Amino acid sequence: MRWLACLGTTLFAGFGHAALTPDPTGLWFDPAESGWGLTLAQQGDTAFAVLFVYDSAGKPEWFVADKMRTSPTGLPLLPSPIGGTLYRTSGPWFGGVFDPHAVSAVPVGTIEVIYTPPSGGSELFVGYTIDGVQVSKTVQRQTWGDNAQNLAGRYSGGLVITTAATAACPGVNFTPPSGVPFGISIASGPLASELRLTWGTGIDTLCSIDGTYTQQGQLAAVSGTLGCAPIGFTLPRDISAQVTQLVGNANGFSGAVTLQQGSCTYSGHIGGVRLP
């Protein structure tokens, strides 16, 4: 509640230039309020929002916000929300001749969205005002399909660890020596719900991340363990591994990585270009 109160003091304060990370593009909803929805599309430092709601008479109505930009909180420990002006639009009947001069957009309020900590991009806090009525709620990504099959394949890429919890944490290296091609393969794991990312770190050593695969909107995650060992030996599983913000298409894949070994946490990125 203290975090929401701090956010409320900054709502609609003037918008800068940045984007939400991870990309919020997709459909968002509250499972307890089926019929209410929010669509977000982010391009660069700008987002476009569509609210589909109902008016006081129970009739469907939708509102749009273009040019949503960052509204700095002024507090270094808080993420920055994005927001902009909400418009009520009207235009010609869809079944007749479309006259663009008959389209109007009237400003009726404001909207602002921000990821709720510590959801890591899985939940958004939405606050908006329409005709003086204030509404706020927490929503989650709406999932329509599974992207695991599209991720399967062979890649040329890498795993880079960029951050350790403390300077006392020993260095870790799960990448091949300089000049050695880094080949990654993604395939189904031992169970139907698992995904396995495998790569070589040299001539005779393999590493893999095995874990449970989950899909949420356009983003996926793998939660499991990482192990490295010479080919033919059982991989030790003493490192907890989380791959989040995982996306893939015909060209390649990318994701964020968090590793936990003992009391040390490491963060980084993994990704690759799809091979023929």
Each residue's pLDDT tens digit, 23-71: 999 999 999 998 999 999 999 989 999 999 999 999 999 999 998 998 6
Q: Which residues pair with 215 in a beta bridge?
A: 220
d(Cα 66, Cα 39) in Å, to the nearest integer? Answer: 12
The 3-state DSSP class for residue 33 equals: helix
> Is residue 17 within 8 Å of 45, Cβ to Cβ?
yes
Each residue's pLDDT tens digit, 233-262: 666 677 999 999 999 999 999 999 999 988
Strands (E), 21-118: 26-29, 37-43, 46-54, 60-70, 82-90, 104-115
d(Cα 60, Cα 82) in Å, to the nearest integer? Answer: 25
Q: Phi, psi at residue 80, to the nearest 5°? A: -100, 130
Range with the poorest average pLDDT among 82-86, 226-230, 232-236, 265-269:
232-236
The answer to whether residue 82 scores a pLDDT higher than 70 is: yes
* Confidence band, pLDDT 50/70/90 cuts, at residue 138: very high
Structure tokens at 116: 């709720």
Please tell me whether the peptide bond between 22 and the residue prior to it is cis, using omega within 30 degrees of 0. Answer: yes
